[in-house]
Structure 1
Amino acid sequence: MADNKLPSGIDRVVGQRIRWRRKELKLTQEKLGELLGLTFQQVQKYEKGVNRVSAGRLFEMSTAMGVPITYFFDGAETFLDHDAGYVAEDGDAIHAPVMTSEILDLIAAFQKIEDQSLRKSLLGTIQAAATAFDGKQQDED
């Protein structure tokens, strides 16, 4: 049985959403820490999902970052449903997809494109490239 105090998949999703919003606001970990009365190391641990964020702290973050508290859970159902059957080598931990700075930059840039037809075209191109790459990977296996 897992220790209930250990971070879970949802903790990592929440951490990624904290990081994403902080980057959207162009805040450093230090600046966010100052706003919340935390060290940048604690912000870093929350973002990486190493430490759980309490309900009270999450409420403070939502207020400081100008988003509803539900923002931090957006997309979590999809991730948890998709990976519900996944069992990691280290037990029953569910691992969230890694949101690298490159992925966050891509998302931020994509959101700035106001032309819907251009956004659809770019998304189609990226999806086609991903499908082609996935097909090549399977051929190599």
Structure 2
Amino acid sequence: MKHPVDVHVGKRVRHRRWMVGMTQQQLADKVGIKFQQIQKYETGMNRVSASRLWEIASSLGVPVSFFFEGLGAAQVAQTHDIDMPGDLLSDKEALELVRSYYAIPETQRRRLFDLARVLSDAA
């Protein structure tokens, strides 16, 4: 059975890899493993060792703590219900929106953010 922490870490690896526009093969090459192993990490089928997570974090330009952000005690306790509704990391449209958002120059991005906040308050 997949452990919820392994699934969460795997989702965060996939999310960050996707955000930087890197393929599984490219990440695997940087880390020195086969892309199939990256697939297994991203699905939570295989647990990522501390040293491998360090290499992945370095390759993706984030601190190791990035992979544990958003992991709450309640989520860890839910070993039977890993894919929670509303999980943005599993929503491809949300990931595309975030990627597009960060591709916008910062001044325009701030204005778009303010607009989105006003629209959501009005809804």
TM tier, shorter chain? 0.7 to 0.9
Which residue pairs with 1:122 in the alignment? 116
Which runs of 5 or more residues in structure 2 are unaligned?
Answer: none
Aligned length: 116
What does residue range 75-94 of structure 1 map to in structure 2 within 5 Å? Answer: 75-77=70-72, 80-81=73-74, 83=75, 86=78, 92-94=79-81
Q: Which of 89, 98, 104 lines up with 2:95 in the alignment?
A: 104
CA contact (8 A) 2:5 2:76 kept: no
CA shift for structure 1 position 13: 1.1
Structure 1: which 5+ residue stretches go unaligned?
1-5, 87-91, 130-141
TM-score normalized by the length of structure 2: 0.76
User: Alignment identity in percent?
Assistant: 35
SS at match of 1:60: helix
Residue 8 of structure 1 contacts residue 94 of structure 1 at CA under 8 Å; is this kept in 2?
Answer: no
Provide the alpha-carbon RMSD of the alignment.
2.5
Does 2:56 match 1:57? no
C-alpha separation in 2, matches of 1:57 and 1:95: 23
- Tell me the TM-score normalized by structure 1: 0.68
Deviations 1:69-92 (A, max 9, x none): 101111112xx43x4665xxxxx4
Q: 1:85 to 1:64 in 2, by over 3 A?
A: closer
- Would the aligned equivalents of 1:8 and 1:93 in 2 still touch at CA under 8 Å? no
Determine which structure has more spread, i.e. the larger CA radius of gyration.
Answer: 1
Supply the AA of the counterpart residue of 1:121.
L
